[in-house]
Amino acid sequence: MNIRQQLEDIRLLFMNGRLAEAGVALDRLQPTTTAELRMHAHYVALREFYQGRVRIAKGLMLKAADEFGDNFNLLRDQVVCDYHLNDMISFRSGLSRLEVLLAEKEQQLEPVTMLEGELMLGKFYEEDARLQPAVIFYDRALQHAKTPEQRFRVLVQKARWQALYEPGEELSDHYRELISFPHERITRDQQIELQHALMMIELRLVGADHAWARIGRLDADVAAIDQRLLVFDFVEGSLAQDLPLNPTVLKRISEFDDLAPYERFLKMLVQGSLEQQAKIQELDRLATQLSWSSYLRLLCLCANLETGTATRQELNRKIQLIIRGLDPRSQSLWNRRLKQALQTPEVRLELSLRGRQVSVQGRSVDLSKKKIAMQLLEGLLRKESLSVDQAIHLLWQTSFSPEYYHRLRMSTHRLNTLVHEITGLGKIIEVDSQNVRLRPEVKLKCVDDGLETGILGL
């Protein structure tokens, strides 16, 4: 077995948490060529990284780069270290260098290295708030995946991206594929990434209780840093969707002491310990410590929760200033997260049952071929909220089931997306585990004579 094969085995030991075995195997290697010496130095640095000594790991990687020259894999892992050290200046600088190096070396890279590079660049672009380039690289990596294991690794990242920023019908297919992948073929590191992605998907498409139950089923030996990842992304996702946090979640948050800056801010936000001015000051301070993606998620969350008009406008202006330099689709995806903050205090929707359209501010959305959307809006004419059971019976004349609950969520999502594309409005209808309702600022009225209250007997 050559050194490359031995190093691949060592990498798998790292990813499965078998650090002592990996260290012994690494010490036994006898590199001779320049390439082997560089790879060995790289893995010595990775041993420090997996033991939590990230700063030492980065120093060893920089030393290896000085001795053996630039290398794509080495630079990629330096950027990973910068991210974990919250050194965003070095992170962004390293990302720029990585982009240049990939363009220069693309034709020379081995297929596995190319796939790993595309996958990591997708994650880096996402952290840098460039959501459209991120998903392009995830798609490229999917195309280059040659084995089920490679496809699984990429699909976990793309599905998590979709759950966060653009949930669509494809997400259901990805969810089925992920939950059916054999666990014995997944490393421990990948298991955490899988649980993270599944939790985000379930929070978006199933409900908060189901997503939280997944966190509760985590093995007891899961590292605290991984537990915090799932818990605080659950908190941010719940708040972003206006879902209440139950007492169990609040208790779990209070049990963590050693928090990253992003997590510490969310904890203070949930506990109500941030006064308005202190919140703005803390957000300003976090700009130097967080990736643009994490920073924008907090800004959008605060803007959506803010009740003061002046502060909300200030946060909106700050967000627009940050995203202005992004590509149009990335800007649009970030603006979707501002659905509540960017809406006027009251949005008047005028529904024509005869004309099969809904209008707002002079712009009309054609619903002539959208039977489910018409029925749902008609159902919400008389009352601004329906129970999930009522909505499912209204639309499909059947009783509740997980399948029909998913169909309800997706139908509502498609209606919201259609209205957004024509009018620019954010979400007008919300769905949680209990109810389907108009957003508080949305007022729906029937404009057909004699049909002002709708024609449904609800």
Contact 293, 301 (CB under 8 A): no
Q: Phi then psi for 107, rounded to 5 degrees?
A: -75, -15
Single pTM value for the model: 0.70
Q: Residue 420 sits in a domain of what CATH number?
A: 1.10.10.10
List Cβ neighbours of 254 (8 Å cut-off, separation of 6 or more).
267, 271
Task: Scan for tokens 């139908």, then name that residue.
Answer: 411
Burial class from Cβ neighbours inside 10 Å (0-12, 13-18, 19+) for residue 151 reads middle
Q: Considering the domain boundaries, does residue 367 fall inside one?
A: yes
Residue 343: is its pLDDT beyond 60?
no
What single letter denotes the amino acid at residue 175?
Y
Under the banding of pLDDT at 50, 70 and 90, the label for residue 346 is low
Domains contained in the chain, number:
1
| CB burial string 191-224: b at 16+ within 10 A, e below | bbbbbbbbbbbbbbbbbbeebbebbeebeeebee
pLDDT at residue 344 in the model: 42
How many residues can be counted in the chain?
Answer: 458
Q: Considering the domain boundaries, does residue 415 fall inside one?
A: yes
**Cα–Cα distance, 445 to 347 (Å, whole number):** 11
* Average model confidence (pLDDT) across the chain: 88
Q: Considering the domain boundaries, does residue 412 fall inside one?
A: yes
Residue 197: is its pLDDT beyond 60?
yes
Task: Scan for tokens 């707002």, then name that residue.
Answer: 360
Q: Considering the domain boundaries, does residue 368 fall inside one?
A: yes
Contact 385, 446 (CB under 8 A): no
**Which H helix or E strand runs over 351?**
strand 347-352
**Cα–Cα distance, 259 to 265 (Å, whole number):** 9
**Which H helix or E strand runs over 66?**
helix 54-68
**Cα–Cα distance, 29 to 24 (Å, whole number):** 9
Q: Phi then psi for 365, rounded to 5 degrees?
A: -110, 120
**Cα–Cα distance, 120 to 91 (Å, whole number):** 13
Render pLDDT for 373-389 as a digit per residue (tens, 0 to 9): 999 999 998 777 899 99
Residue 202: is its pLDDT beyond 50?
yes
Angle at 252 between CA 247 and CA 256, to 5 degrees: 145
pLDDT at residue 42 in the model: 93
Domain that holds residue 440: 347-446
Q: Considering the domain boundaries, does residue 373 fall inside one?
A: yes
Question: DSSP code of 168?
Answer: -
Q: Considering the domain boundaries, does residue 189 fall inside one?
A: no
Q: Considering the domain boundaries, does residue 331 fall inside one?
A: no
The average pLDDT across 42-68 equals: 93
Q: Considering the domain boundaries, does residue 376 fall inside one?
A: yes
Rounded to 10 deg, the angle between the 247-254 and 224-240 helix axes is 140
pLDDT at residue 424 in the model: 67
Contact 351, 447 (CB under 8 A): yes
Beta pairing partners, 351: 358, 446
